[in-house]
Homo-oligomer: A and B are copies of this chain.
Amino acid sequence: MSHDQPLTKEAILDAAEQTLRRYGPDKTSVVDVAKALQVSHGSLYRHFPSKAALREAVTERWLQRIADPLQIIADGTDGSATDRLRLWTDTLIRAKRTYVLEDPEMFAMYASVTQEAVKIIDTHVNLLIGQITQIMDQGMRAGEFKPGRPESAAKAFFMATSLFHHPAHSYQWTSDGIEAAFESVWTLLLAGISMNG
């Protein structure tokens, strides 16, 4: 990219992501990204005052790529709430597993940012819980799910499935029994949620 083009946030994040993939999260500096963009590091520091800020911004955009397709599922109205909850969960789990295999540098960065318990992770988790809340609310209104507080049920569902989507568990996702493990947790949770449970 030439330095006479306007330096958009998207362009910086694209370059940051590529640089992070090349050098790894620990070794990438703001200066490396400035070099890749052929701009002065001063102009980059205005957008990202630290390596931590850069890491968080890249992780934030990466998380948005996970959340967007899930929002479409949560916003859907056809079919049962049970089917939608299952599709939402499968889609989240599949995205995480795909990323850990195919984009390991970005995943490692996300896992480390998660451990730092920063605000962007809270925001992301709250966004996902909000999506499940929509589905719970639909299911409760339709008499398909047991009556209760949709948000409380959504939080509990999200936390109870942590083993399958929290990055700290990624070392378990390639183990043989993982699909059967998820089925047994899903069955237990659905029995707790569903009117027929």
Contact = CB atoms under 8 A, between A and B. Distances in A.
B169 A155 contact: no
Interface of A is mostly: helix
Interface string A151-166: 0110111011111001
A191 interface: yes
A184 B117 CA distance: 21
A188 B189 contact: yes
A191 B188 CA distance: 9
Nearest to A186: B156
Interface residues of A, number: 30
Contacts of A155: 181, 184
Contact of A181 (B159, B166, B168): B159
Contacts of A185: 156, 159-160
Given A160-B161, A166-B169, A153 B192 contact: no
Contacts of A193: 188, 191-192
11 contacts: A153-B184, A157-B188, A159-B163, A160-B185, A162-B162, A166-B168, A188-B192, A188-B193, A189-B189, A189-B192, A197-B197
Interface of A: 115, 117, 146, 152-153, 155-157, 159-163, 166, 168-169, 171-172, 175, 181, 184-185, 187-193, 197
